[in-house]
């Protein structure tokens, strides 16, 4: 506490024992360091770590742990090429999918929190959806939304998505879709 001497009643202000006890107690429980570390580790999204990011994840409605589908199955165009492999390169779907849980590192989770926060306040326009894609995949390559004009839209990527990124795109709920609009995903790897 700042100026602790001003808080001592005048009748006790000249007592060296009481003043020494209060000064020692004030130094032991000085909240300045705790407030600064709380601000840096929890409150400020840009510098939050560990538990602080988990709190922000609960606030925006996203989990650090993603369920990742490990296998690609042979499929046709309706499956989209983020979850299906072309002829001769994937097994037939047998009714069960093997999955794994993956906990995101702090920096990746922070980016996902930013994207989910943007998705929570988006108006669903192509411009705002492209802004979310630029946040999620900054430095990876081109990612964009194409409006099909017939109540369909396609999230397109010109780079290979990792299994974690495929899980973010398809299952995390970060990429929004306007009500009544059908969504497809496409990778165009050159």
Q: What is the pLDDT of residues 116-136, one digit of tens each?
A: 998 899 888 899 999 989 888
State the pLDDT at residue 96: 60
Measured distance CA(76)–CA(84) in Å, rounded? 7
Measured distance CA(51)–CA(181) in Å, rounded? 36
Phi-psi category of residue 139: left, alpha or beta, with phi > 0 → left and psi -120 to 50 → alpha: left
- The alpha-carbon radius of gyration of the chain (Å, integer) is 26
Q: Which residue has the higher pLDDT, 34 or 152?
A: 152
In this predicted structure, the answer to whether residue 42 has a pLDDT above a threshold of 90 is yes
**Residue 167 belongs to what H/E stretch?**
helix 163-171
In this predicted structure, the answer to whether residue 82 has a pLDDT above a threshold of 90 is no
Cβ atoms of 42 and 54 closer than 8 Å: no
For residues 77-85, give the mean pLDDT. Answer: 52
State the pLDDT at residue 97: 60
Q: Which residue has the higher pLDDT, 76 or 179?
A: 179
Out of 4-18, 25-39, 53-67, 91-105, least confident range? 91-105
In this predicted structure, the answer to whether residue 99 has a pLDDT above a threshold of 80 is no
State the pLDDT at residue 179: 85
- Identify which of 93, 112, 90 has the alpha carbon closest to the alpha carbon of residue 102: 112
Cβ atoms of 83 and 166 closer than 8 Å: yes
For residues 59-86, give the mean pLDDT. Answer: 67
For residues 72-88, give the mean pLDDT. Answer: 54
Out of 31-40, 82-91, 97-106, least confident range? 82-91
Would the pTM count as exceeding 0.85? Answer: no
């Amino acid at each position: 506490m700042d100026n602790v001497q001003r808080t001592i009643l005048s009748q006790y202000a000249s007592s060296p024992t009481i003043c020494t006890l209060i000064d020692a107690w004030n130094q032991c429980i000085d909240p300045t360091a705790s407030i600064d570390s709380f601000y840096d580790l929890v409150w400020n999204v840009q510098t939050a770590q560990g538990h602080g990011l988990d709190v922000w994840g609960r606030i925006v409605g996203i989990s650090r742990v993603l369920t990742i589908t490990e296998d690609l199955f042979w499929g046709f165009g309706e499956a989209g090429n983020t979850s299906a492999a072309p002829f001769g390169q994937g097994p037939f779907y047998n009714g069960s999918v093997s999955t794994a849980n993956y906990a995101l590192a702090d920096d990746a989770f922070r980016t996902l929190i930013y994207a989910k926060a943007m998705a929570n306040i988006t108006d669903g326009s192509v411009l705002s959806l492209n802004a979310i894609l630029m946040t999620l995949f900054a430095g990876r390559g081109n990612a964009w939304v194409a409006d099909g004009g017939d109540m369909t839209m396609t999230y397109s990527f010109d780079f290979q998505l990792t299994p974690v990124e495929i899980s973010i795109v398809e299952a995390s709920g970060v990429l929004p879709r306007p009500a009544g609009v059908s969504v497809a995903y496409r990778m165009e790897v050159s």
